[in-house]
């Protein structure tokens, strides 16, 4: 079978790509060097999706990948085959996704999943304006040997509300959310389903490998990282601490208990998803929903895991190609503020001191989410910091939060953007938080005073 890729407006064929035959490039997860005569086209079209669309079009939508699992993970295949696993509804939201990356996502799921475990694949088109994502896509989906439902939203909803549209349609016992530019690998599905089936209050994510936004090379990520966050309420990857490695007894095929998840790819029991409040519908478009659901799951009786036997490659982009109504910063601050106000208790002051602009962004009505927390009798954010994430940059116990200034010079201690362990400096006191926020612990107060004395005098 041969397909022809089309430009973003559905006007003309660009490259003929073998969909089920020998690929031209990218076989086995290798990267692509774009030929010289296509370089200008590559540069011109990069902005379409903020990745190398031309490289993606040179790779079969049906390309092969190696089995990236460890031998210990591969040895568990028989165990999974012997289990009666629940069926899953896989939900993929997209907006103006590139043709080849979307199809490669779908083909990888079909090729590397036990189809008897998939109740359905649900695609939610968040008001794409590219013609190939309408009738051509609907027609193509009929060729795949799996039940696929597609809904084209009539107004732009954003990732959060579009996912809720998909979850409301789902018939599977388990919901599994995927991004639209991923490639799943051998054995990816069963470990996720098995862990959720064993405990319905578990939320389980795969290891998220990297697909290069330039060459589309598949690059494996470390199996000893977990999700955390910084004071700006940005999700970050960090090395798994020693205590978690010890809890697993050195067995790197066992799931990692993680404080937060990235949010793009995870499995959750459908009933539990709704029991704990699904998504915060007051959030807008995209951003921050992963930390909100991470805090909520842990604080309200569930747990989060990353399973090293499940690997999914994801095209990571340096910036989003999509517009945010009112501006990106306003949307991100709005969503983060809702998370801080509902879930972070007195620790929300860390966020506001680091991102003072968020104080002036409306958070919307929080009544329903605060009632949800109360009705579920969720634990405190201090419990979360002490029990789940003692390594957090936000400490569970502190004396005060503010700034330190010299009355003589009217200058403040300022980190100047330096990293941990690097010397601080002095700057004009601006009172806006950020790099001038100082956290004081009673235990360290004496040494802090000595340091300040030397700095100022």
Nearest to 66 by CA among 313, 315, 307, 256: 313
Tokens read off for 355: 């991102």
Give the C-alpha separation, 284 to 126, whole Å.
13
On whether residue 395 sits in a domain, the answer given is no
On whether residue 362 sits in a domain, the answer given is no
On whether residue 276 sits in a domain, the answer given is yes
Instruction: Provide DSSP, 272-319.
Output: HHHHTTSS-TTS-SSSSHHHHHHHHHHHTT-EEEEEEEEEEEEE--SS
- CATH number for the domain spanning 138: value is 3.90.550.10
Q: Are residues 121 and 46 in the same domain?
A: no
Q: Are residues 111 and 225 in the same domain?
A: yes
Last residue of some domain: 257, 282, 315? 315
Helix axes 328-343, 289-299, angle to 10 degrees: 10
Residue with tokens 């039940």: 147
pLDDT the model gives residue 141: 97
Q: Are residues 117 and 17 in the same domain?
A: no
On whether residue 389 sits in a domain, the answer given is no
Tens of pLDDT, residue by residue, the chain (457 residues): 333 444 433 333 333 344 433 446 899 999 999 999 999 999 999 999 999 999 999 999 999 999 999 999 999 999 999 999 999 999 999 999 999 999 999 999 999 999 999 999 999 999 999 999 999 999 999 999 999 999 999 999 999 999 999 999 999 999 999 999 999 999 999 999 999 999 999 999 999 999 999 999 999 999 999 999 998 999 999 999 999 999 999 899 999 999 999 999 999 999 999 999 999 999 988 788 999 999 999 999 999 999 999 999 999 988 776 666 667 788 999 999 999 999 999 999 999 998 999 999 999 999 999 999 999 999 999 999 999 999 998 777 654 556 566 766 777 666 666 655 667 777 777 655 555 555 544 334 444 444 555 555 5
Q: Are residues 112 and 248 in the same domain?
A: yes
Residues 6+ apart with CB under 8 A from 306: 204, 205, 206, 207, 226, 227, 255, 256, 258, 261
On whether residue 363 sits in a domain, the answer given is no
Q: Are residues 120 and 261 in the same domain?
A: yes
Q: Are residues 227 and 281 in the same domain?
A: yes
The answer to whether the CB of 73 falls within 8 A of the CB of 185 is no
pLDDT the model gives residue 22: 40
Q: Are residues 300 and 446 in the same domain?
A: no
Q: Are residues 42 and 130 in the same domain?
A: no
Last residue of some domain: 290, 315, 340? 315
Q: Are residues 53 and 76 in the same domain?
A: no
Longest dimension (CA), the chain: 78
Burial class (CB in 10 A: 0-12, 13-18, 19+), 148: buried
Query: Based on the structure, what is the number of domains in the chain?
Result: 3
Q: Are residues 9 and 129 in the same domain?
A: no
* pTM assigned to the model: 0.85
Q: Are residues 41 and 99 in the same domain?
A: no
The boundaries of the domain holding residue 23 are: 2-57
Run of H or E including 77 = helix 77-82
Tokens read off for 289: 């929903």
Burial class (CB in 10 A: 0-12, 13-18, 19+), 246: exposed
pLDDT the model gives residue 255: 98
On whether residue 384 sits in a domain, the answer given is no
On whether residue 170 sits in a domain, the answer given is yes
pLDDT the model gives residue 242: 95
pLDDT the model gives residue 16: 39
On whether residue 332 sits in a domain, the answer given is no
For residue 239, what are the β-bridge partners? 225
Q: Are residues 51 and 116 in the same domain?
A: no
Last residue of some domain: 284, 315, 346? 315
């Amino acid at each position: 079978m041969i397909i022809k890729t089309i430009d973003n407006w559905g006007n003309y064929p660009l490259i003929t790509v073998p969909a089920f035959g020998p690929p031209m490039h990218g076989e086995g997860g290798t990267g692509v060097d774009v030929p010289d005569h296509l370089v200008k086209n590559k540069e011109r079209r990069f902005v379409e999706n903020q990745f190398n669309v031309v490289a993606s079009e040179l790779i079969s939508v049906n390309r092969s990948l190696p089995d990236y699992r460890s031998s210990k993970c591969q040895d568990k295949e028989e165990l999974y085959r012997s289990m009666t696993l629940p069926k899953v509804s896989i939900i993929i939201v997209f907006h103006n996704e590139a043709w080849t990356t979307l199809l490669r996502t779908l083909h990888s799921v079909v090729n590397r999943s036990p189809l008897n475990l998939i109740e359905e694949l649900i695609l939610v088109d968040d008001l794409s304006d590219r013609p190939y994502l309408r009738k051509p896509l609907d027609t193509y989906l009929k060729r795949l040997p799996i039940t696929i439902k597609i809904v084209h939203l009539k107004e732009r909803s954003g990732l959060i509300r579009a996912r809720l549209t998909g979850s409301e349609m789902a018939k599977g016992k388990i919901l599994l959310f995927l991004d639209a530019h991923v490639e799943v690998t051998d054995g990816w599905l069963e470990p996720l389903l098995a862990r959720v089936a064993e405990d319905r209050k578990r939320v389980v994510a795969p290891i998220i490998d990297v697909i290069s936004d330039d060459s589309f090379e598949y690059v494996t990520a470390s199996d000893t990282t977990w999700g955390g966050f910084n004071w700006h309420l940005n999700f970050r990857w960090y090395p798994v601490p020693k205590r978690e490695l010890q809890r697993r007894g050195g067995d790197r095929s066992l799931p990692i208990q993680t404080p937060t998840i990235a949010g793009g790819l995870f499995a959750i029991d459908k009933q539990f998803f709704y029991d704990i409040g699904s998504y915060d519908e007051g959030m807008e478009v995209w951003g921050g929903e992963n930390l909100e659901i991470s805090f909520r799951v842990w604080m309200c009786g569930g747990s989060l895991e990353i399973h090293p036997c499940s690997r999914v490659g994801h095209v990571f982009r340096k910036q989003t190609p999509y517009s945010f109504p009112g501006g990106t910063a306003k949307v991100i601050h709005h969503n983060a503020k809702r998370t801080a106000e509902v879930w972070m208790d007195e620790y929300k002051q860390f966020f506001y001191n680091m991102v003072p602009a968020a104080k002036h962004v409306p958070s919307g009505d929080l009544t329903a989410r605060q009632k949800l927390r109360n009705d579920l009798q969720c634990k405190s954010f201090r419990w979360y910091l002490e029990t789940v994430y003692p390594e957090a940059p936000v400490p569970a116990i502190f004396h005060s939060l503010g700034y330190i200034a010299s009355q003589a010079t009217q200058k403040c201690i300022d980190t100047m953007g330096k990293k941990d362990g690097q010397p601080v400096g002095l700057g004009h006191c601006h009172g806006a938080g950020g790099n001038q926020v100082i956290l004081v612990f009673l235990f360290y107060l004496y040494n802090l005073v000595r340091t300040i004395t030397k700095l100022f005098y």
